[in-house]
Amino acid sequence: MASEEKCGVLHGKYELGRLLGHGTFAKVYHARHLKTGKNVAMKVVGKEKVLRVGMMEQVKREISVMKMMHHPNIVELHEVMASKTKIYFAMEFIRGGELFAKIARGRLREEAARNYFQQLISAIDFCHSRGVYHRDLKPENLLLDEEGNLKVTDFGLSAFSDHLRQDGLLHTTCGTPAYVAPEVIGKKGYDGAKADIWSCGVILYVLLAGFLPFQDDNIISLYKKIYRGDFKCPPWLSPESRKLITRMLDPNPSTRISIAKIMDSSWFKKSIRKNLRTKEEQEFTVGDEVNNVDKGKETETLNAFHIISLSEGFDLSPLFEEKKREEKEEMRFATTRPASSVISKLEEVAKTKNFNVKKSDSCVRLQGQESGRKGKLGIAADIFAVTPSFLVVEVKKSSGDTLEYNQFCSKELRPALKDILWTSAAGSSMPA
């Protein structure tokens, strides 16, 4: 260990505690952030060992993947630090241990298994929407927090969609034999999303049965069983769960069930996990098409200080230009039309895309009726008057997934607003 670790303080930031676990290339310690007192799990990877076996690319990949994975069912990476000999991952500390430990005590009741499976599928769907495939899904890589929420970890073997060859497939064999899809073993190239679905199918089987679907002491015999999809469901599995597992453990990836179909299956949808609703969602009652909010509130007038606070510093260009961010959570546009025209346009979009609406004279709140990757999409539009005939409209994501929000803005909102956008004398219009 480096002298910094020996004295118990790392980079002057973290106080290292007990060893939580270790693998071939890493040790994980309990640590405490000195400034905030927050508990973290500190994964320590030896640079020399990683370089010796040519795994530095894998470590870099894990860092880049985890930095973009912000989801309630994925372990969060807080920061990465390095010394001359080691790389340190400060990660979310999960107290509940591995899901594997729960299964080791015996199979789970169907309701409990469904609860964990729903969270797993939510996390994997989120990864796939970002072009990331985990490729090593197994109960040991699924952690539980104190409330029993599932957290996916260990993205060391994950792949980005930009790792696909010209045939559009991945070609690296990886994962744990009992959980690996037949096409991965086959080395002919495979779809990362389909391979993850197979692994999720094995996990669901283990949760409900208490043992693996494919077992054999001889690795060649094990692979043959996996190739053929040769498994039997125990008699206590319900017909609906058997049907879903059979479709997930289809040895032909082209006919294997998709995540969208899994989420639409009757077994999955039964008693769907009720996540805590956001404040924005609570404002809406199901079935309401239009509700007035803050009745009588007039359009807020902007003075110079408001305009400066809306822009970044004293530069007003962000009011009228694209934000240079991959994932934007807000946009602004100017218009010379009255607030009522803006509200009407937003209502039209809401109607075509099945959103609930709440409105006043100066704000509109849209709430999606269907749950997305991070709950229901919520959008807030606030209207500010620079002069009586010149308005600035600020549109923000109030709940849901940023990627889904950005897709909604580019495909639905911007095209619908193009007729009312203010165009400068130079001929440029926006939203920003």
> Whole-angstrom Cα distance, residue 72 to residue 69?
9
End-to-end Cα, the chain, rounded Å: 50
Each residue's pLDDT tens digit, 198-249: 999 999 999 999 999 998 888 888 889 998 998 999 999 999 999 999 999 9
Other beta carbons within 10 Å of 337: 17
> Residues 248-272: what's their mean pLDDT?
91
Range of the domain at 30: 3-92
Catalytic site residue from 136, 154, 191, 250: 136
> Whole-angstrom Cα distance, residue 229 to residue 366?
46
- The structural domain count of the chain equals 3
Q: What is the mean pLDDT of the chain?
A: 76
Give yes or no: residues 105 and 214 share one domain.
Answer: yes
* Whether 190 contacts 181, CB under 8 Å: yes
Q: What is the pLDDT of residue 282?
A: 47
Give yes or no: residues 85 and 131 share one domain.
Answer: no
Task: List CB contacts of 14: < 8 A, sequence separation 6 or more.
Answer: 31, 32, 33, 34, 40, 42, 90
Q: Is 196 a known active-site residue?
A: no
**Position 115 pLDDT exceeds 90:** yes
> Residues 383-401: what's their mean pLDDT?
81
Write down the residue that tokens 């993205």 correspond to.
155
Three-state secondary structure readout of 154-210 = CCCCCEEHHHCCCCCCECCCCCCHHHCCHHHHCCCCECHHHHHHHHHHHHHHHHHHC
Q: What is the pLDDT of residue 168?
A: 44
**Position 324 pLDDT exceeds 60:** no
> Whole-angstrom Cα distance, residue 170 to residue 163?
7
Rounded (to 5) percent helix, strand, coil in the chain: 35, 25, 40
> Whole-angstrom Cα distance, residue 185 to residue 167?
18
**In-domain check, residue 86:** yes
Q: What is the CATH number of the domain that holds 121?
A: 1.10.510.10
The amino acid that residue 397 corresponds to is K
> Whole-angstrom Cα distance, residue 72 to residue 90?
17
Q: What is the pLDDT of residue 199?
A: 92
The amino acid that residue 29 corresponds to is Y
> Residues 190-194: what's their mean pLDDT?
81
Give yes or no: residues 382 and 410 share one domain.
Answer: yes
**Position 279 pLDDT exceeds 50:** no
Band of pLDDT at residue 65, cut at 50, 70 and 90: low
Task: List CB contacts of 371: < 8 A, sequence separation 6 or more.
Answer: none
Q: What is the pLDDT of residue 104?
A: 82
> Whole-angstrom Cα distance, residue 206 to residue 107?
7
43 marked ligand binding residue: no
Q: Of 218, 240, 269, which closes a domain?
A: 269
> Residues 68-79: what's their mean pLDDT?
82
Band of pLDDT at residue 281, cut at 50, 70 and 90: very low
**Position 186 pLDDT exceeds 80:** no
Nearest to 267 by CA among 226, 208, 214: 208
Give percent above pLDDT 70 in the chain. Answer: 73
* Whether 265 contacts 215, CB under 8 Å: no
Give yes or no: residues 113 and 235 share one domain.
Answer: yes
The phi and psi torsions of 382 (rounded to 5 degrees) equal -110, 135
> Residues 313-340: what's their mean pLDDT?
60
Q: Structure pTM? A: 0.60
* Whether 305 contacts 405, CB under 8 Å: no
**In-domain check, residue 311:** yes
Other beta carbons within 10 Å of 68: 14
**In-domain check, residue 423:** no
Q: What is the pLDDT of residue 300?
A: 61
Q: Of 92, 111, 129, which closes a domain?
A: 92
**In-domain check, residue 428:** no
Give yes or no: residues 291 and 412 share one domain.
Answer: yes
Tell me the three state secondary structure of residue 406.
helix
Distances (CA, A) of 258 to 109, 268, 299, 365, 370: 25, 13, 47, 33, 19
> Residues 126-148: what's their mean pLDDT?
82
Stretch among 102-106, 138-142, 290-294, 305-309 having the lowest mean pLDDT: 290-294
**Position 291 pLDDT exceeds 50:** no
Q: What is the CATH number of the domain that holds 351?
A: 3.30.310.80
Nearest to 404 by CA among 348, 351, 353: 353
> Residues 189-198: what's their mean pLDDT?
84
Give yes or no: residues 200 and 156 share one domain.
Answer: yes
- Look at the chain and count its residues: 432
Q: Of 71, 92, 113, which closes a domain?
A: 92
Q: What is the pLDDT of residue 287?
A: 40
Which two three-digit tokens encode residue 399? 């709940």
Q: What is the pLDDT of residue 219?
A: 84
Greater model confidence, 4 or 130 = 130
Greater model confidence, 53 or 416 = 416
Q: What is the pLDDT of residue 332?
A: 79
